[in-house]
């Protein structure tokens, strides 16, 4: 009976799930870096494949750029 009373103390409390981070807008520096990394894709109006994106991310990280901080899906959507 005592455990039941102790559990009733928490009945009114609600637990909110953690919220997702909102949309993060691309900065001008990131857009310039995307244009440099995916210049051939922009010229041909083609979406880069996963291998090209991973190579660009490695190159961005090596050159201390900003694109490597984004997810691959977001890079692919922006590089069209």
Q: What is the pLDDT of residue 76?
A: 86
Q: What is the arithmetic mean of pLDDT over 24-53?
A: 91
Q: 10 Å Cβ neighbour count for 37? A: 23
How many whole angstroms separate alpha carbon 56 and alpha carbon 65? 10
| 4 pLDDT more than 90 | no
Q: Any idea which residue has 């637990």 for tokens?
A: 15
Q: Say what the pTM is.
A: 0.67
C-beta separation of 79 from 41 below 8 A: yes
Q: What is the arithmetic mean of pLDDT over 40-44?
A: 90
Confidence of residue 33 (pLDDT cuts 50, 70, 90): very high
Among 49, 29, 31, 33, which Cα is nearest to 41's? Answer: 49
Quick one: DSSP state of residue 67?
G
C-beta separation of 80 from 47 below 8 A: yes
């Amino acid at each position: 009976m005592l455990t039941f009373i102790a559990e009733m103390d928490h009945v009114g409390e609600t637990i909110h799930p953690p919220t997702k981070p909102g949309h993060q807008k691309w900065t001008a520096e990131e857009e310039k870096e995307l244009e440099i990394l995916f210049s051939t894709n922009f010229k041909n109006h083609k979406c880069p494949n996963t291998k090209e994106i991973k190579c660009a991310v490695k190159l961005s990280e090596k050159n201390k750029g900003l694109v490597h901080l984004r997810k691959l899906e977001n890079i692919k959507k922006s590089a069209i």
